[in-house]
Amino acid sequence: MYLAEKFHSPDHWYPADLQKRALVNEYLSWQHSAIRMHAAKIIWLKLLIPKAMEVEVPKDKMDSAIENLNGTLKQFEEKFLQDRPFIVGDQISLADLVAVVEIIQPLGAGLDVFENRPKLRAWKDRVREAVGSELFDEAHQNILSCQEIVETMDRNKFEAYKPQIVKYFLS
């Protein structure tokens, strides 16, 4: 928001119109305790804990995390997308950029959140097109390559944090 205002970015990113700006702010206030929390948890439970820490994740923990993410994605579609092309309306905004970065994360762990969600997939495709496919793909390259990156990680670096992480995610 600061950068959008400081550098006078095009209005659609952080609209001057108060109602549109309120939609951006509403999404940004909601996402960190909803989509971010649930999408990041999938990365930990499906990839980092079992692969990097070599700790088995109980099926019920994984199922619960996926169920929570699915509920959050449903809320996102119904509350924030509704029948609009983008969160604020006909043009991409800062809210869409933040949303796509969070929502795409589970793909890096092998969970396709866009499968069986045509509205969500179409929105992601519109965001990709609005940003430019080359830039979009470059920005998401690391998260989408997460499985390969984890294979090359030094697992010893996780040892000091392993008890806290396991307690946080698996207790």
Please tell me the predicted confidence (pLDDT) of residue 48: 93
Per domain, the residue ranges of the chain are: 20-52+59-170
CA 130 to chain centre: 18
Distance, in Å, from the CA atom of 69 to the CA atom of 2, rounded to the nearest integer, reads 29
Average pLDDT (108-123) is 97
- Select from 132, 122, 124 the least CA-distant residue to 103: 124
Question: What is the CA angle 153-37-144, rounded to 5?
Answer: 40
Question: How large a percentage of the chain has pLDDT more than 70?
Answer: 100
Please tell me the predicted confidence (pLDDT) of residue 92: 98
Q: How confident is the model at residue 15 (pLDDT cuts 50, 70, 90)?
A: very high
Predicted TM-score (pTM) of this structure: 0.90
Please tell me the predicted confidence (pLDDT) of residue 94: 96
Distance, in Å, from the CA atom of 118 to the CA atom of 12, rounded to the nearest integer, reads 24
Average pLDDT, the chain: 94
- Select from 108, 109, 101, 105 the least CA-distant residue to 144: 108
Distance, in Å, from the CA atom of 98 to the CA atom of 73, rounded to the nearest integer, reads 14
CATH class of 20-52+59-170: mainly alpha
- Select from 101, 153, 155 the least CA-distant residue to 127: 101
Average pLDDT (46-58) is 94
Does pLDDT of 1 surpass 90?
A: no
